[in-house]
Amino acid sequence: MEATSADREQWGSRIGFVLAAAGSAIGLGNIWRFPYLAGEGGGGAFVLIYLLCVVLIGMPYLYAELSLGRNSQRNPVGAIKSITGGGSAWILVGGFCVLAGFVILSYYSVVAGWAVGYAVKDIIAPTMGFQEFAASPGMVIALLGVFLLLTFLVVVGGVEEGIERWAKILLPILLVLILLIIFRAVTLDGALEGLTFYLVPDFSAITFDLVIAALGQAFFTLSLGMGAMITYGSYLPKREDIAISGAYVVVFNTLIALMAGLMIFPAIFAMGADPEAGPALVFVVLPKVFAQMPLGGLVSVLFFLLLSIAALTSSISLLEVVVSYFVDEQQWSRQKSVWLIGGVVFLMAIPSALSQGASGAFSDMSYLFGESGLFGQNNFLGILDYLIGTAGCGGPTLPPTSWWRGAVS
Amino acid sequence: MWGADSAANELVEGSSVMTQGLIDGWTFMMRYVIPVVVFGIVMGYVFGIL
């Protein structure tokens, strides 16, 4: 027997929902990709186009997902089943959402584990460069395990006592960390140049590709198209104003992305690093920048802590999409769903964790796909990321397609 | 079939007077603009433009 709507857990408050949904939307990509695109694309001009795309495309899409979730009170598969009456091929769309959540979590948690490791790097591996760090099997698997365990412990607590409660704790911490780092960054000598690069509009930098990038960022930054908002919407009570709550999610998500630029660019310019280092920025360039600045050690710890929190709030929603499917459709208990699915995710993540040099079999899969690799990728993590991020249902939602790839190549 | 109208009805529930005035606009976007954009993105990938 399926769980009825009356049994379904609900968010305890609007702020709880907004923080949980914003946490889902704010991921690794917000901290790096948005400021990078903005800096590259004419600063304020890009932000303007992005905001237009968010309001005209992102918000209605978000509302559509939240409405579908609340109307059906189901996970993505159940939601589509309920509106089509079952037996429709459209159910596959919901199935892809669940599958995408499962697969993305398996490699997203590896990258998130690196962030956790970098937050405590001075203790666990003070002298290691990134290549050596990512190729240390014991370390990356342990960090992966720690990150996934944190995710499981939050999700197993349920909607109100787990996800909502932790969102209310983690998001304010994230905000404070960003403000602290912004304060340090903008008070550095030479920070003004970075602020100018980031904020002063340059409409001549706007190109067709950049408009598409702004559209992509707006479309995917809100965790759209992967079932997270259908699932989160299914926990909304009928009395909740979806339009207002959704608008808060959009505003909060955009605000964090804008603030991320304020913390990154002044520091990069002040320290003379390359603002267009792009994908390599997070794990290669920024640690070098932090090492040069006064109080850099502390800033580095704070930055990677906030990156870990951003990743955690996103991984929670990824796991919740899968868990809600098994709870709704297979009538598993939440505990059973979290630990069983979590165990499988952990096992599936190990090849990704070992694919950056720790294991030849997963790091160079040319023995299977030839020298040119599969879609140009030769390591396990890269192939999964390409399949899901570029070609698949999840879209470049999380690590917006392969942003980290340059960091490890 | 559940569609933009049903989503609009769901949006109206619990909404305030202020947001009700905007629901028609969002419904228009859901019904016409988003499908065109999604189709455009898919075709863009299929034909290698994106």
DSSP element (H, E) containing A286? helix A286-292
The whole-number average pLDDT for the span B44-48 is 75
pLDDT on residue A375: 75
Question: Does the distance separating the beta carbons of B13 and A238 come in below 8 Å?
Answer: yes
pLDDT band at B38 (very low <50, low <70, confident <90, very high): confident
DSSP symbol at A206: -
User: How far does B13 lie from chain A, in Å, by closest CA?
Assistant: 7
Which residues, listed in sequence order, are joined to residue A377 by a DSSP beta bridge? A374
Instruction: For residue A331, count CB atoms less than 10 angstroms from its CB and return exposed for 0-12, middle for 13-18, buried for 19 or more.
Output: exposed
How far apart (Å, rounded) are the C-alpha atoms in residues A128 and A327? 43
pLDDT on residue A398: 36
pLDDT exceeds 60 at position A5: no
Question: Does the distance separating the beta carbons of A240 and B34 come in below 8 Å?
Answer: no
pLDDT band at A280 (very low <50, low <70, confident <90, very high): low
Q: Report chain A residues whose CB lies below 8 A from the CB of B11.
A: 63, 67, 242-243
User: How far does B11 lie from chain A, in Å, by closest CA?
Assistant: 6
Question: Does the distance separating the beta carbons of A242 and B10 come in below 8 Å?
Answer: yes
Q: At what angle do helices B4-12 and A242-270 cross, to 10 degrees?
A: 90
* Of A19, A37, A4, the residue nearest A396 (C-alpha): A37
How far apart (Å, rounded) are the C-alpha atoms in residues A178 and A256? 8
Model pLDDT for residues A348-374, shown as the tens digit of each residue: 999 999 998 889 899 889 898 888 888
DSSP symbol at A282: I
pLDDT on residue A316: 96
pLDDT exceeds 60 at position B3: yes
In chain B, count H helices and then E strands: 3, 0
pLDDT band at B50 (very low <50, low <70, confident <90, very high): low
Is A120:A87 a contact under the CB 8 Å cutoff? no
User: How far does A371 lie from chain B, in Å, by closest CA?
Assistant: 23
Which of B16, B26, B44 lies at the smallest CB-CB distance from A241? B16
* Of A99, A332, A318, the residue nearest A229 (C-alpha): A318
Question: Does the distance separating the beta carbons of B26 and A67 come in below 8 Å?
Answer: no
The whole-number average pLDDT for the span A202-220 is 79
Q: Could you give the maximum distance between any two Cα atoms of chain A, in Å?
A: 65
Instruction: For residue B48, count CB atoms less than 10 angstroms from its CB and return exposed for 0-12, middle for 13-18, buried for 19 or more.
Output: exposed
pLDDT on residue B13: 85
pLDDT exceeds 70 at position B24: yes
DSSP symbol at A26: -
Most confidently modeled range among A55-69, A149-163, B16-30: A149-163
pLDDT exceeds 70 at position A404: no
Most confidently modeled range among A250-264, A377-391, B8-22: A250-264
pLDDT exceeds 50 at position A243: yes
pLDDT band at A340 (very low <50, low <70, confident <90, very high): very high
The Cβ-side half-sphere exposure at A238, using a 13 Å CA radius, reads 9
User: How far does A215 lie from chain B, in Å, by closest CA?
Assistant: 9
Helix (H, G, I), strand (E, B) or coil at A277: coil
User: How far does B49 lie from chain A, in Å, by closest CA?
Assistant: 10
Is A111:A399 a contact under the CB 8 Å cutoff? yes
Question: Does the distance separating the beta carbons of A243 and B22 come in below 8 Å?
Answer: yes
pLDDT on residue A396: 36
pLDDT exceeds 60 at position A408: no
Q: What ipTM score was computed for the predicted complex, to two decimals?
A: 0.82
Is A354:A156 a contact under the CB 8 Å cutoff? no
Share of chain A above pLDDT 70, in %: 91
Question: Could you count the other beta carbons within 10 Å of the beta carbon of residue A406?
Answer: 15
Q: What is the mean pLDDT of chain A?
A: 86
Instruction: For residue A274, count CB atoms less than 10 angstroms from its CB and return exposed for 0-12, middle for 13-18, buried for 19 or more.
Output: exposed
Q: Which residue has the tokens 């049903």?
A: B6
Question: What is the pTM assigned to this prediction?
Answer: 0.88
Question: Could you count the other beta carbons within 10 Å of the beta carbon of residue A146?
Answer: 17
Among A168-177, A256-265, A385-394, B17-26, which is the least confidently predicted range?
A385-394
Which residues, listed in sequence order, are joined to residue A374 by a DSSP beta bridge? A377
Residue with the larger pLDDT of the pair B25 and A229: A229
Q: Which residue has the tokens 């990512």?
A: A134
Interchain CB contacts (distance < 8 Å): A and B? 70
Q: What residues of chain B have any CB closer than 8 angstroms to a CB in chain A? A: 1-2, 4, 6-8, 10-11, 13-16, 19, 22-23, 26-27, 29-30, 33-34, 37, 41, 44-45, 50
How far apart (Å, rounded) are the C-alpha atoms in residues A407 and A145? 22
How far apart (Å, rounded) are the C-alpha atoms in residues A50 and A253? 12
CA A335 → CA A266, A271, A332, distances in Å? 45, 48, 8
- DSSP E strands: which ranges in chain B? none
Residue with the larger pLDDT of the pair A145 and A26: A145
How far apart (Å, rounded) are the C-alpha atoms in residues B33 and A61? 10
pLDDT band at A278 (very low <50, low <70, confident <90, very high): low
How far apart (Å, rounded) are the C-alpha atoms in residues A190 and A187? 9
Q: Report chain B residues whose CB lies below 8 A from the CB of A242.
A: 10-11, 14-15
Q: Report chain B residues whose CB lies below 8 A from the CB of A84.
A: 1-2
pLDDT exceeds 70 at position A277: no
Question: Does the distance separating the beta carbons of B7 and A64 come in below 8 Å?
Answer: yes
User: How far does A70 lie from chain B, in Å, by closest CA?
Assistant: 8
| Cβ within 8 Å of residue B12, ≥6 positions away | B20, B23
pLDDT on residue A40: 75
B/e letters for A356-391, b = 16+ CB within 10 Å, e = fewer, are bbbbeebbbbeeeeeeebeeebbbbbbbbbbbbbee
How far apart (Å, rounded) are the C-alpha atoms in residues A114 and A99? 24
Question: Does the distance separating the beta carbons of B29 and A60 come in below 8 Å?
Answer: yes
